Amino acid sequence: MRIPAKTRSRMIRCMVATLSCAAFCISAPVFAQSADAGSSEVSAEATAEAGVGPLPEDFEFVAFPLVAYTPETSVLFAGAGLFFFNVSDHPRARRSDVMVSAAYSLRQQAALKIDSSFYFGDGTVHLGADSLFLDWPSDYFGIGEESVDDGEEYNNQQVETELILDFRLADNFYAGFAYEVGYNSLRIDKDTSLFEPVTPGIDGGLLSGIGIRAKWDTRDTKFATTEGQRFAFEATYFNSLLKSDYDYWKLRLDLRQFFSWSGHTVGFHAVTRITVGDPPFYDMSTIGGDRQLRGVFRARHLDNSMFVVQSEYRTPYLWRLGLAAFAGIGDTFKHFNQLSVGDIKWAGGAGLRVLLKEAERVNLRLDFGVNADDYGIYFGMSEAF
């Protein structure tokens, strides 16, 4: 069978990126270990010179650079740092964390992301603050049954922040409120045939919504869970009363269950996301990417709602290295009665894990996923779910 030149070129780029990622995976534990062990001394010296005093003894961090390849980004250069600390002196204080990551791809995609979780007292009060800054060329294939195989590129400049304040109402049960705000500015080729004046969100604009959050969480850690469960529900309402340019509801149900034995772990994940009203196309539901149905091109399938069911097996660590295998199914839809068994998408694959920080089980993750039409290589910090 003759392999097309375009496919051969992409396979070569994937192989190069895979080797680069593997090199980083092997070297990353050494880098992270030295940073973890020496962070207090180095930070103390640096802050003393700056005249601000030493950092707290419980302040720790893990940092790493990476080179990756995904179908959505081409070759990607990125770096991330994960910080751990206590904001409370309570004897049973839960550790807070902040992850800062930045990326730039050969498609001239640039992103800065800050994810924060602050726990006060003995963890009774939780404040989440996530921010995202994007200048990101993306692909648009159309919506639902109107989608095509060959998408067209557009550029999305986006600023987004989500604030979550929730309270522990019972053991392992949290509930509270959220506020989402974001602004999108789109650049679209005037000669495109896919985008039409009636495409929702073609003019970009402001998104502003308030919502409720509730979750039951017994996981032993959120970064690389080995046992426990997490059931979470989110509902957010975007409305003109909040100055939003679009009126719609966004609902999400996320269920996760994990089992472990002798260092082996099996995890199950089911998620559905439903929008009701008139959301812009860039906030519609999609499948694929680095966390849901790895191997499916993200945003290739776009519609009001989606579902994904997936599972993953993770081996015990040998030194700091582990392996994983995963598989799942999912689809997008406008109404539940439009779902068809014959149209459901599948994906599966395998990956490498590198343990960076043993206490919180922070991993580097390198995954290779395939489906009936595509494949992808994904590299990042923490597990997909």
User: Contact, 116 vs 98, CB < 8 A?
Assistant: yes
Number of domains in the chain: 1
User: Contact, 110 vs 73, CB < 8 A?
Assistant: no
Q: For residue range 24-52, what is the model confidence (pLDDT) as tens digits?
A: 444 444 444 433 434 433 344 444 444 44
- Residue appearing with tokens 């700056």: 50
Residue 359 has pLDDT above 90, yes or no: no
- pTM of the predicted model over 0.75: yes
Q: Whole-angstrom Cα distance, residue 335 to residue 274?
A: 9
Instruction: State the DSSP string of 90-146.
Output: -TTPPPEEEEEEEEEETT--EEEEEEEEEEETTTTEEEEEEEEEEEEEEEE--SGGG
Domain that holds residue 100: 5-381
Residue 303 has pLDDT above 90, yes or no: yes
Q: Strand pairing partners for 157?
A: 135, 185
Helix (H) or strand (E) holding 43: helix 5-50
At residue 78, φ and ψ (nearest 5 deg) are: -155, 170
- Going by C-beta distance under 8 Å and a sequence separation of 6 or more, which residues neighbour residue 154? 137, 138, 139, 140, 186, 187, 188, 189, 192, 195
Q: For residue range 184-239, what is the model confidence (pLDDT) as tens digits?
A: 999 987 667 788 877 889 999 999 999 999 999 999 988 899 999 999 999 999 99
Q: Extract the tokens encoding 85.
A: 């600390």
CATH of the domain at 350: 2.40.160.50
**Helix, strand, or coil (residue 77):** strand
Average pLDDT of every residue of the chain: 85
The 10 Å Cβ neighbour count of residue 371 is 21
Residue type, 268: F
Q: Whole-angstrom Cα distance, residue 156 to residue 185?
A: 6
User: Contact, 98 vs 114, CB < 8 A?
Assistant: yes
Residue 8 has pLDDT above 70, yes or no: no
- Residue appearing with tokens 């034995």: 261
Cα distances from 349 to residues 105, 293, 378, in angstroms, run 24, 9, 11
Q: What pLDDT is stored for residue 16 in this prediction?
A: 47
DSSP state of 218: -
